[in-house]
Amino acid sequence: MRHKNHRPASRATAPFARWRGTLRRHVAVLLLMKIAALALLWALFFSPAHRAPVDGAAVSRHLLPAKEAFR
């Protein structure tokens, strides 16, 4: 369905339409690159392979003096 004010693209607006398409494509590529970089950083710094194992007894020994200080 066509709108009343819809006019076909003239020769003057054709370069503007190409320019907008190019800009949209460049912005989309940059956003995808940023998302990929963030995913890579997350994988490098927050992946389960880099987490230290937690020993419950060692944690309680470390926190026990702090608990006794407030009594």
pTM across the whole model: 0.50
- Mean pLDDT within 58-69: 72
Q: Token digits for 15? A: 């370069």
Give the max Cα distance, the chain: 83
Q: Which of 4-18, 23-37, 42-56 has the lowest mean pLDDT?
A: 4-18
Greatest mean pLDDT among 40-44, 50-54, 67-71: 40-44
HSE-up of residue 33 (Cα within 13 Å, Cβ side) = 6
**How confident is residue 55, by pLDDT bands cut at 50, 70 and 90?**
confident
Q: Sign of dihedral through CA atoms 50, 53, 54, 57?
A: negative
